[in-house]
Structure 1
Amino acid sequence: MKKVTVVDAVSLASSVEIHDAIIDENFADDNRREKAVVEAQLFESQMKDGFIGKWIHYFTDRALLKRLETHEDSELKTFIAQKLFKVDGILCDEQTRLELIQSLIVQSSVFDFDKDDLVKKYGEEMTGWLMDRLVPSISECSSVLYKAASHFNRFKSRDPLHNWYRQPENVSAQTAARISRFAEQMTNRLRWSFLMEPGKFNCHMMEFIAEFNRLESFFSVNELSTEEASQTAFNANFMTKARNKLIPCCDASRVCLRDNDSPQMNPADVIDKIFAREHITTAKNEEHSVYGTPDFIHANYIRGGPLLNTFICTQAPLPNTQCDFWRMVYQEKSTFIIMLCSAVDSDSLGPLDRSSNPHCLYYWPRTLGETQKYGSLLVRNVRVDGTVDPLFNVTYLEVQPVKNSDESHILTVEHWQWDWQQMCDVHWPFRVLRKARLQETPTIVQCLDGCGRSGTLVTIETVLMQFLRGCPLEDDIVLLSALFVRLQRRLAVSTSLHYLFIYRTVLHWVASLLEIKFLFFVSILRKR
């Protein structure tokens, strides 16, 4: 295949834009992409030349479908195993809790599982699982497996990533060319490792770390335009509404809140709250002096380019910004929230824990039937389900204005929560991104700072959609995708481990589509 010249990611350009090959109607007429289109057409035409070409095409398709089937079987087995492991983990925790209570009470008594309490904590579906697992022997193993796999195939029929090979031949040919190009780049990096240490089947991380360093230094080397660099709203609000004062929120992509109902603060009150010292006295005689703006929340849109939908990356709500968070949810009509950090109860924090912001407090009603008021909005817990996903706990919430009880104004939200710490599991991003991909309203992705884990997940989606909808045969696809996200959410993908996880996740998907000659090299890369 002929090599295509592409623009280096670290250039003099002030903006990073991922071009869209499918949406742009003038794609075929663009001279800059003419060579890439010719390569995709060659890929297609070679499959059509005579009987031999059709014969090769037929068996190539069969081999691809076989690899996809094998990949789906492996994913299903992992999904079932993780779900059963989750059920057993909850059951073990509950049994341990009961044994501890029983050992601490002097009076001899027998404690058993309270079904109503379990339903409030884990939902009716998970409670049924827990009760079934208490049975010493299960006669029908097939029914258990079928039940565990019930959520695996949801949304697959409408997922463009899962059905890319069913697209028109010219479109699928371009996608196949991008995947092949990416695989070639990865194998070239591994071959370099062979040359450095012959006989060692190992992948050096030097090139990947160097690529991440290019990402880190890009915005300091390449000057942004005035509009891109503007952060006026952040400068006016960071003292009380930002967890990390070093993570800015750019004006160009920030979420601007409407319908203000938040109280405004006097600057003196802000200073007193920050220092919390009795001997500090500040003047409070300025009648109209207030700190901050009511339209600010530390959240940014991630949209455009190859993305099918819109994401909102945001930090974990502070105690004084929880009302703003739910204002944003209701304003954007977001029905899907992905929370990638843990949450704690404010009653469990000591005096020292309250002095800083390392924790995310529960900002939603946790138990079934509970209702909490956040400013002018009521949030009601209508259902808890721990069986939808092996890792995430799903809470179904209803959000509605306090002054309007009309059912037409009720917004139903799915809140998915999991404390993502380890970079080992490459299966879960595909499950949550498949659901997010089909949302008609913005998907909110939230971690502690709204950059590290949240930015990593959105970058994975950008890379995958770049395969489907981006500029053909683009080099440095992961770097360009990370720059695209960082331009809208500063410091997204904050560590090299996050960056390597993006590669591992993408390679996991790509490996199911590759020919045998690439699989050996990619399998080594995936183990790193």
Structure 2
Amino acid sequence: MSAMGDEGSKTGPSSEVRTASSTTGGSEISSFQSPLCASPARFVLKPGQFLHDADATESLASFTRRTCSMSVFSLFFDYTTVIAKDTKENCSVGESHPMLNRFKDVRCFDKNRVKVKHPDGTHDFLHANYVDGFREKNKFILTQAPLEQTSEQFWAMIFQENVVLIVALIALDDKQCRRYMPIKNGTTVNFGAYTIEHHGTQQIRDTYDATILKIRHGSEPERKLLHICYFDWPDKGTPTRPTEMLNLIADMNYNRRLMMEEAEKSGWLKSGTQSPIVVHCLAGVGRSGTLAALDICCRKLDYTEKQSTGPMVDVKDAVLRLRTQREMAVQNPEQYLFLHLAVIEYALRQRYYDDVDTIDLSSFNGYTV
């Protein structure tokens, strides 16, 4: 697929890892503006309700027929109706700390920001937002790639939020994203009060690898976490095939469960304690938002397939809701198109279709392989 990157205008500078299947630069953000006038998307939840649930959706069959009937242009236009509903949330805390924002035009909502006290005690701003998953509050934390001046705060967030899994959708090569962790087995890096130790890396499939890290902070018990680095998402594109992202998401969820179970046995994570998945790319909105949206849609398909309604999904609704928690999530129309194709591929893989002969994606030639 050909697409734009997820960057904006800059302001500042071994345990075995398993796969789920083993057991069963600096370009300007697109100024893509909608010609439509629309009311902002607002979702008022009652106690006990989830932002992403089985309602407000359409059947898989209807979604597929509609997608197959569209062209690249019409899907791109559909994306304009999404961004036209963006909410104008308060972002004053981040705006008061411009040097802590990687890009001046990628803002961080105040209402659901992750508050992490700075080492000097002067503020608690880090460019990160809690993001809900399907029927799971705060499943994700979407954040920008750490800057030199925010690396210690990044690890403070990992410790504070009981994180066992980090997913990086960008290579840690010091060119775009500084190395915020040791890169060789047995080596250690200190970020202020936090000590990070490398305990081995192994390549998972062809497009990402996984590293076991141990983190120490003061007299607290040592913690082990998994760092997955997906290195094949082009700077100005989308993954070559939806399969690659679907594999990543399956392994992400599977290994999160394993790491949480191990943490509970080790005693540092209490049973029932939440452990968000920290996801970052460069800005933490385009690639990161696409991964979160795809996971939401896939989990909705899995959940509703077991219900009397049969499999249900609504990519547009998922993206609308996601963007109320992380500004600019799913940043460009190419990523929006990719989501539609990836959802169809996932449903095919899971055999959720009664009749596959009706699926005709010929209008998207050049966007699939």
TM normalised by structure 2 equals 0.72
The 3 A distance-change label for structure 1 pair 465 and 179 is same
The answer (yes or no) to whether the contact 2:60–2:313 under 8 Å persists in 1 is no
Is this contact kept in 2: 1:369–1:381, CA < 8 A? yes
Q: 1:205: which partner in 2?
A: 72
Is 1:338 the equivalent of 2:365? Answer: no
Whether contact under 8 Å (1:384, 1:394) holds in the other structure is: yes
- Partner of 1:240, secondary structure, is helix
- In structure 2, the residue matched to 1:369 is 186
CA separation of 1:18/1:521 partners in 2, compared to 1, >3 Å: closer, same or farther? Answer: farther
Q: 1:476 to 1:462 in 2, by over 3 A?
A: closer
The answer on 1:481 being equivalent to 2:293 is no
1:391 matches 2:207: yes
1:15-414 matched pairs, under 5 angstroms = 15-16=42-43, 178-187=59-68, 189=69, 204-219=71-86, 224=88, 229-237=89-97, 239-258=98-117, 260-261=118-119, 263=120, 293-303=122-132, 306-307=135-136, 310-345=139-174, 359-386=176-203, 388-401=204-217, 403-404=218-219, 409-414=221-226
The one of 352, 358, 367 aligned to 1:513: 352
**Equivalent residues of 1:336, 1:413 under 8 A apart:** yes
Q: Residues of 1 paired with 2:161 and 2:138: CA distance?
A: 13
Distance 2:303 2:111 in 1: 24
The count of residues paired between Structure 1 and Structure 2 equals 301
The DSSP-based 3-state class of the residue aligned with 1:414 is strand
Amino acid at match of 2:188: T
Alpha-carbon distance in 2 for matches of 1:525, 1:508:
16
CA separation of 1:460/1:525 partners in 2, compared to 1, >3 Å: closer, same or farther?
farther
Amino acid at match of 1:502: L
Secondary structure of 2:145's partner? coil
Q: Give, in angstroms, the shift of residue 466 of structure 1.
A: 3.0
For 1:514 and 1:507, how far apart are their aligned partners in 2? Answer: 9
Q: What stretches of structure 1 of length at least 5 have no aligned partner?
A: 1-9, 28-32, 37-174, 191-203, 265-292, 350-358
Distance change >3 Å, CA 526–CA 207, structure 1 → 2: closer
The CA deviation string for residues 420-450 of structure 1, in whole angstroms up to 9 with x for no partner, is: 1143221122223224435451001110100
Q: Distance in 2 between matches of 1:525 and 1:21?
A: 42
Aligned partner of residue 412 in structure 1, secondary structure: strand
AA paired with 1:455? G
CA deviation after TM superposition for structure 1 residue 374, in Å: 0.7
- 1:417 is matched with 229
Mark the CA change 1:366 to 1:307 in structure 2 (over 3 Å): closer, same or farther.
Answer: same
User: Larger relative contact order (C-alpha < 8 A, sep ≥ 6)?
Assistant: 2
SS at match of 1:361: coil
CA distance in 2, matches of 1:308, 1:431: 23
Change (3 A) 1:374 1:178: same
CA offsets, 1:352-379, max 9 Å, x none?
A: xxxxxxx111110000110111111110
> 1:236 & 1:309 partners in 2: Cα distance?
25
Name the SS for the 1:244 alignment partner: coil
SS of residue matched to 2:85: helix
**In the alignment, which of 289, 292, 297 is matched to residue 458 of structure 1?**
292
Look up the SS of the partner of 1:385 in the other structure.
Answer: strand
Q: Given residue 515 of structure 1, which amino acid in structure 2 is its aligned partner?
A: D
Structure 1 residue 186: Cα displacement: 2.8
* Distance in 2, Cα, partners of 1:400 & 1:504: 42
The one-letter amino acid paired with 2:324 is L
- For residue 12 of structure 2, what is the aligned residue in structure 1? none
Residue by residue over 1:185-234, the C-alpha shift from the partner in whole angstroms, topping out at 9 and shown as x without a partner, is 234x25xxxxxxxxxxxxx2122011111122222xxx65xxxx121211
Report the AA paired with residue 397 of structure 1.
L
Q: Return the alpha-carbon distance in structure 1 between the equivalents of residues 363 and 100 of structure 2.
A: 41
Q: Give the 3-state SS of the residue equivalent to 1:254 in structure 2.
A: coil
Contact 1:178–1:467 (CA<8 Å) still a contact in 2?
no
Percent identity, aligned pairs only?
A: 22
Q: Report the Cα offset of residue 21 of structure 1.
A: 12
Q: Distance in 1 between matches of 2:165 and 2:127?
A: 18
Change (3 A) 1:303 1:485: same
Which residue number in structure 2 is paired with residue 494 of structure 1?
A: 331
Give CA deviations for 1:154-198 in whole Å, capped at 9, x if unaligned: xxxxxxxxxxxxxxxxxxxxx9x83223223234x25xxxxxxxx
Partner of 1:428: 244
Higher helix share: 1
Give the AA of the match of 1:509: Y
Q: Do the aligned partners of 1:21 and 1:469 also contact (CA within 8 Å) in 2? A: no
Alignment check: 8 A CA contact 2:167 2:227 kept: yes
Cα distance in 2 between the residues matched to 1:510 and 1:525: 19
